[in-house]
Amino acid sequence: MRAIVQEHYGSTDALRIRDVEQPETAHDEVLVRVRAAGVDRGVWHLMTGRPYPVRLAGYGLRAPKNPVPGMDLAGVVEATGKDVTGFRPGDEVFGVGTGAFAEYARAPQDTLAPKPSNLTFEQAGVVATSGTAALQALRDHGQVEPGQSVLVIGASGGVGTFAVQLAKAGGAEVTAVCSASKVDLVRSLGADRIMDYEREDFADGRRHYDVILDIGGNSSLSRLRRALAPKGRLVIAGGETGGRWLGGTDRQIRARVLSPFVSQTLTTFISRANHDDLMILKRMIEDGKVTPIVDRTYPLSEVPKAIRYLEEGHARGKIAIAA
Ligand SMILES: NC(=O)c1ccc[n+]([C@@H]2O[C@H](COP(=O)([O-])OP(=O)(O)OC[C@H]3O[C@@H](n4cnc5c(N)ncnc54)[C@H](OP(=O)(O)O)[C@@H]3O)[C@@H](O)[C@H]2O)c1
């Protein structure tokens, strides 16, 4: 099968398109004929091996343990391991697997769900990681309730476009921060108020939010806290600095350390895709409450170009790969 292969950590120059063996699946895994895959920051971290703790987290010390990159996918079940009960060959699925930038990928049954019936494969292929991150950030860590005010910083990107829609669907009043060129997009997602970060300061003291979800821009903790209600919850999803050792996570660590000493809750998280949350996203998508936003779609041979576009940090929603 054709696949993108990476034999060492590095830039997109480390990626090659090759013919390789189809992956072998474990008993609880599904072999998926990939129709589309999603590109996100996790892919970039595993390609570069940065920040370095990624390598210690089991992804390979000197080189990627899985030479075929790509995690988010949508496609058709080709075969199932003997312990797989929820899927059969021919089923259309979406979720998270291993080696999604290829014609076939393997995925545990626990990180797959039936594809939303109203989505194309390209739309479905970009949902899992960013959709799950937005859902878990708002529900589990932000504990957002109907009527609360929620500030989403980085509202126009991969996670942000899901977060705005999910927060609105949960009954929150949403203020979204993005660049001027994305205002129309973010308004179309249902945001109640929009701030262009080049012209307005969300921390000018005029408004205080019950929940702040910080996904982009790397604002300092003191600025974020200034915009947060006295008992509010700050959830830091991420923010890239390119640093080799911490890659922007130092803010997250400081937030956790400070939280017990202040009235606000300052937290962070690492999202985990799972079947139940994918089913929640599927239902919300089929009910028309959430629509994945696909900015660009690249063919498999152009994965390096797709990742370079992601690296620029200004995609309108998600980037897809059509296999
Ligand atoms: N914790 C987790 O489990 C988890 C899961 C997924 C992702 N993440 C992390 O979350 C971060 C974002 O991921 P993503 O996939 O959404 O990335 P993305 O698609 O590249 O989006 C980043 C967003 O940041 C915005 N931005 C840039 N400068 C800004 C500023 N000064 N103020 C406000 N917004 C600004 C960009 O908006 P404009 O284009 O409008 O400038 C863009 O929408 C990454 O660091 C990623 O690693 C964490």
CA distance 176 to 153: 6
Q: Which residues contact 88 (CB under 8 A, 6 or more apart)?
A: 77, 80
Tokens matching residue 90: 């021919």
Looking at residue 86, its pLDDT comes to 95
pLDDT tens digit string along 190-223? Answer: 999 999 999 999 999 999 999 999 999 899 999 9
CA distance 246 to 265: 22
Task: Domain 130-268: give its CATH architecture.
Answer: 3-Layer(aba) Sandwich (3.40)
Cβ neighbours, 10 Å, residue 250: 13
Determine which residue's CA is closest to atom 21 belonging to ligand 1: 157
Q: Where do the domains of the chain lie?
A: 2-127+292-322, 130-268
CA distance 78 to 66: 21
112 pLDDT tier (thresholds 50, 70, 90)? very high
CA 269 to ligand 1: nearest atom: 1
Question: From ligand 1's centre to the CA of 12, what distance in Å?
Answer: 20
- The alpha carbon of 189 is separated from its chain's Cα centroid by a whole number of angstroms, namely 17
Tokens matching residue 35: 């129709």
> CA-based Rg of the chain, rounded to a whole angstrom?
19
Does the structure show a pLDDT above 90 at 183?
A: yes
CA 155 to ligand 1: nearest atom: 43
State whether CATH 4.10.140.10 applies to domain 2-127+292-322.
no
* Whole-number Cα distances in Å, 262 to 142, 205, 222, 233: 16, 18, 12, 11
Determine which residue's CA is closest to atom 12 belonging to ligand 1: 215
**Mean pLDDT, residues 141-160:** 98
Determine which residue's CA is closest to atom 34 belonging to ligand 1: 154
279 pLDDT tier (thresholds 50, 70, 90)? very high
pTM over 0.95: yes
Determine which residue's CA is closest to atom 31 belonging to ligand 1: 217
60-64 long-range Cβ contacts below 8 angstroms, 24+ apart: 62/8, 62/9, 63/7, 63/8, 63/9, 64/6, 64/8, 64/9
pLDDT tens digit string along 14-57? Answer: 999 999 999 999 999 999 999 999 999 999 999 998 888 878 87
